[in-house]
Structure 1
Amino acid sequence: MSAVSSRLPVFPWDKLEPYKATAAAHPDGIVDLSVGTPVDPVPALIQQALVAAADSPGYPTVWGTATLRDAIVGWCERRLGAVSFAHTNVLPVVGSKELVAWLPTQLGLGTGDKVAYPRLAYPTYEVGARLCGATPVTYDTETFAADAAGAELDPSGLKLLWLNSPSNPTGRVLGKDELTRIVAWAREHGVLVFSDECYLELGWEAEPVSVLHPDVCGGTYEGIVSVHSLSKRSNLAGYRAAFIAGDAAVLGELLRIRKHGGMMTPAPVQAATVAALGDDVHVAEQRARYAARRDVLRAALLKHGFRIEHSEASLYLWATRDEPCWETVGHLAELGVLVAPGDFYGAAGERFVRVAFTATDERVEAAVKRLG
Structure 2
Amino acid sequence: MGFHTFQTPYDWGRLDECKTIASQVEGGMIDLSVGSPVDPVPESVRQALAGAADAPNAHGYPATIGTPALRTAIADWFLNCRGIDLRPINAGLVPTVGSKEAVAMMASLLHLGEGDLVVQPRISYPTYEIGTQLAGAGVLKVDDVSDVESWKNTPGVRAIWVNSPCNPSGEVLSAAQLTSIVAAARQIGAVVLSDECYALMSWCADASPSALGVNVCAGSAEGILVLYSLSKQSNMAGYRTAFIAGDKGIIDEMSVYRKQIGQIISGPVQAAMVAALRDTTAVFEQRKRYQQRLAKLVKALGAYGYEVKMPAGALYIWVRALSGGCWQDIEDLARRGILVSPGEFYGAPDFLRISSTATDEAIDEAVARLLSH
Give the TM bin, normalised by the shorter chain. Answer: over 0.9
State yes or no: 1:327 paired with 2:328: yes
| 1:256-271 mapped onto 2 (5 Å cutoff) | 256-271=256-271
1:331/1:153 CA distance change after superposition, 3 Å: farther
Q: Give CA-to-partner distance per residue, 1:146-192, whole Å, 9 cap, x none.
A: x42x2455441111111000000000000111111111111111110
State yes or no: 1:249 paired with 2:252: no
AA aligned to 2:100 is K
Q: Aligned residue for 1:238?
A: 238
Rounded Cα–Cα distance in structure 1 between residues aligned with 2:105 and 2:165: 22
Rounded Cα–Cα distance in structure 2 between residues aligned with 1:264 and 1:133: 25
AA aligned to 1:42 is V
**Quick check: 1:233–1:286 contact (8 Å CA) kept in 2?**
yes
Identical columns (%): 44
How far apart are 1:9 and its partner, in Å? 2.2
Q: Aligned residue for 1:315?
A: 315
- Normalising by structure 2, what TM-score? 0.94
How far apart are 1:321 and its partner, in Å? 3.8
Q: Aligned residue for 1:219?
A: 219
1:84/1:124 CA distance change after superposition, 3 Å: closer
How far apart are 1:253 and its partner, in Å? 0.7
Q: Aligned residue for 2:61?
A: 59
Q: Aligned residue for 1:290?
A: 290
Rounded Cα–Cα distance in structure 2 between residues aligned with 1:152 and 1:92: 30
1:33/1:152 CA distance change after superposition, 3 Å: same
Which range moved further: 119-128 or 306-315? 306-315
**Quick check: 2:164–2:208 contact (8 Å CA) kept in 1?**
yes
**Quick check: 2:165–2:198 contact (8 Å CA) kept in 1?**
yes
AA aligned to 1:90 is L
Rounded Cα–Cα distance in structure 2 between residues aligned with 1:48 and 1:131: 38
Q: 2:78 aligns with which of 69, 73, 76?
A: 76
Q: Aligned residue for 1:272?
A: 272
Q: Give CA-to-partner distance per residue, 1:8-60, whole Å, 9 cap, x none.
A: 32542111111111111111100000001100000000000000001121111
Rounded Cα–Cα distance in structure 1 between residues aligned with 2:309 and 2:135: 34
Q: Aligned residue for 2:194?
A: 195
Unaligned residue ranges in structure 1 (runs of 5+):
none
AA aligned to 2:97 is V
**Quick check: 2:203–2:291 contact (8 Å CA) kept in 1?**
yes
Q: Secondary structure at the match of 1:215?
A: coil
- What's the C-alpha RMSD, in Å, of the aligned pairs? 1.7
Q: Aligned residue for 2:131?
A: 128
Rounded Cα–Cα distance in structure 1 between residues aligned with 2:134 and 2:275: 35
Moved over 6 A (4+): none
**Quick check: 1:8–1:131 contact (8 Å CA) kept in 2?**
no
**Quick check: 1:307–1:321 contact (8 Å CA) kept in 2?**
no
**Quick check: 2:78–2:86 contact (8 Å CA) kept in 1?**
no
Rounded Cα–Cα distance in structure 1 between residues aligned with 2:33 and 2:158: 32
1:110/1:84 CA distance change after superposition, 3 Å: closer
Q: Give CA-to-partner distance per residue, 1:318-359, whole Å, 9 cap, x none.
A: 01244211111111011100000111101xx22110000111
Q: Secondary structure at the match of 1:354?
A: strand
Q: Aligned residue for 2:359?
A: 360
Q: Aligned residue for 2:95?
A: 92
1:84/1:351 CA distance change after superposition, 3 Å: closer
**Quick check: 2:4–2:136 contact (8 Å CA) kept in 1?**
no
**Quick check: 2:315–2:357 contact (8 Å CA) kept in 1?**
yes
Q: Secondary structure at the match of 2:216?
A: helix
Q: Give CA-to-partner distance per residue, 1:185-206, whole Å, 9 cap, x none.
A: 1111111011000000101125
Q: Secondary structure at the match of 1:318?
A: strand
| 1:148-163 mapped onto 2 (5 Å cutoff) | 148=148, 150-152=149-151, 154-163=153-162
Q: Secondary structure at the match of 2:263?
A: coil
1:335/1:40 CA distance change after superposition, 3 Å: same
